[in-house]
Chains A and B, each alone.
Chain A
Amino acid sequence: MVLQSSLKNCLQLSCILRTPKAGFRSTSRGGLIIQSISNDVYQNLAVEDWIHDHMNLDNQRVLFLWRNSPAVVIGRHQNPWQECNLRLLRQKNIKLARRRSGGGTVYHDLGNINLTFFTTRKKYERMENLKLVVKALKALRPQLDVHVTDRYDILLDRQYKISGTAAKLGRTTAYHHCTLLCNADKFVLSSVLKSPYEGLKSNATPSVPASVKNLFEEDPSLTCEMLLDAIAEEYAAQHRIDHRITLINPADETVLPGINNKTKELKSWEWVYGKTPKFSISTCFNMVYKDSVLDVKVDMDVKHGRIEVCNIDLPEQWLPPALCSELVKSLTGSKFCPNETTTLASTLLRACPQDDESHSKWNLLCENMMLLM
Chain B
Amino acid sequence: VCIHRVRWCSSIRFIKSKYVCVCDKSALKFSHHQRLFRTSAVLRGQIVQFKLSDIGEGITEVTVKEWYIKEGDSVSQFDSICEVQSDKASVTITSRYDGVIRKLHYSLDEIAYVGKPLVDIEIDAAKGVAPEEDVVETPPMSHEEHTHQEIKGHKTLATPAVRRLAMENNIKLSEVVGTGKDNRILKEDILNYLAKQTGAILPPSPKAEIIPPLPKSETVPAAPKDKARTIPVPVSRPIVFSGKDKTEPITGFHKAMVKSMSAALKIPHFGYCDEVDLTQLIWLREELKALAQLRGVKLSFMPFFIKAASLGLLQYPILNAALDESCQNVTYKASHNIGIAMDTEQGLIVPNVKNVQACSVFEIASELNRLQSLGSAGQLGTNDLSGGTFTLSNIGTIGGTYAKPVILPPEVAIGALGKIQVLPRFNGKGEVYRAQIMNVSWSADHRIIDGATMARFSNLWKSYLENPASMLLDLK
CB of B88 within 8 Å of the partner chain = yes
Complex contacts, A331 vs chain B, CB 8 Å: 252
A33-41, A216-224, A349-357: which lies at the interface: A349-357
Task: Name which residue of chain B comes closest to A100, CB basis.
Answer: B90
* A319-373 interface (Cβ within 8 A of B): 326, 329-335, 338-340, 342-351, 353, 359, 362-363, 366-367, 370
Complex contacts, A25 vs chain B, CB 8 Å: none
Give A328 Cβ to nearest chain B Cβ, in Å: 12
Task: Name which residue of chain A comes closest to B349, CB basis.
Answer: A343
- The CA of A152 and the CA of B89, in the complex, are separated in Å by 11
A4-12, A162-170, A257-265: which lies at the interface: A162-170
Tell me if A126 and B382 are in contact (CB < 8 A): no
Complex contacts, B262 vs chain A, CB 8 Å: 351
* B230-255 interface (Cβ within 8 A of A): 249, 251-253, 255
Give B47 Cβ to nearest chain A Cβ, in Å: 23
Number of interface residues, chain A, beta carbon within 8 A: 56
- The CA of A171 and the CA of B324, in the complex, are separated in Å by 65
Tell me if B382 and A366 are in contact (CB < 8 A): yes
Complex contacts, A346 vs chain B, CB 8 Å: 349-350, 382, 385-386
CB of B56 within 8 Å of the partner chain = yes
Complex contacts, A330 vs chain B, CB 8 Å: 252, 255-256, 259
CB of B55 within 8 Å of the partner chain = yes
A101-109, A130-138, A193-201: which lies at the interface: A101-109
* A97-120 interface (Cβ within 8 A of B): 100-104
CB of B347 within 8 Å of the partner chain = yes
- The CA of A90 and the CA of B78, in the complex, are separated in Å by 39
Tell me if A342 and B94 are in contact (CB < 8 A): no
CB of B387 within 8 Å of the partner chain = yes
A334/B253 contact (C-beta < 8 A), A342-B385, A343-B347 known? yes
Tell me if B255 and A333 are in contact (CB < 8 A): yes
Complex contacts, A67 vs chain B, CB 8 Å: none
- The CA of A334 and the CA of B256, in the complex, are separated in Å by 10
Tell me which of B90, B94, B257 contacts A102 (CB under 8 A): B90
CB of A124 within 8 Å of the partner chain = yes
CB of B410 within 8 Å of the partner chain = yes
As a 0/1 sequence over residues 156 to 184 of chain A, the CB contacts with chain B under 8 angstroms (1 = contact) are 00000000011111110010000000000
* B335-352 interface (Cβ within 8 A of A): 344, 346-347, 349-350
CB of A206 within 8 Å of the partner chain = no
CB of A277 within 8 Å of the partner chain = yes
Tell me if B260 and A340 are in contact (CB < 8 A): no
Tell me if B56 and A344 are in contact (CB < 8 A): no
Tell me which of A101, A203, A332, A347 contacts B89 (CB under 8 A): A101
Of A169, A332, A340, A350, the most chain B CB neighbours within 10 A belong to A350
CB of A213 within 8 Å of the partner chain = no
Give A262 Cβ to nearest chain B Cβ, in Å: 15
Number of interface residues, chain B, beta carbon within 8 A: 50
- The CA of A122 and the CA of B273, in the complex, are separated in Å by 72
A277/B89 contact (C-beta < 8 A), A76-B83, A344-B252, A351-B256 known? no
Give A209 Cβ to nearest chain B Cβ, in Å: 15
- The CA of A335 and the CA of B256, in the complex, are separated in Å by 13
Give B107 Cβ to nearest chain A Cβ, in Å: 11
As a 0/1 sequence over residues 134 to 172 of chain B, the CB contacts with chain A under 8 angstroms (1 = contact) are 000000000000000000000000000000000000000
CB of A243 within 8 Å of the partner chain = no
Tell me if B382 and A345 are in contact (CB < 8 A): yes
- The CA of A62 and the CA of B169, in the complex, are separated in Å by 45
CB of B358 within 8 Å of the partner chain = no
A339/B66 contact (C-beta < 8 A), A168-B90, A347-B253 known? no
Tell me if A169 and B91 are in contact (CB < 8 A): yes
Complex contacts, A370 vs chain B, CB 8 Å: 381-382
Tell me if A340 and B346 are in contact (CB < 8 A): yes
B residues in contact (CB < 8 Å) with A: 55-57, 65-66, 78, 83, 85-92, 94, 108-109, 249, 251-253, 255-257, 259-260, 262-264, 324-325, 344, 346-347, 349-350, 377-383, 385-387, 408-410
A residues in contact (CB < 8 Å) with B: 75-77, 90, 93, 100-104, 121-122, 124-126, 152, 165-171, 174, 203, 205, 277, 306, 326, 329-335, 338-340, 342-351, 353, 359, 362-363, 366-367, 370
Q: A90-B377, A126-B57, A169-B56 known; 18 other A-B pairs, CB under 8 Å?
A: A76-B83, A76-B85, A102-B86, A166-B88, A167-B89, A170-B92, A171-B94, A277-B65, A277-B108, A333-B252, A344-B253, A346-B349, A347-B256, A350-B408, A350-B409, A351-B263, A366-B382, A367-B382
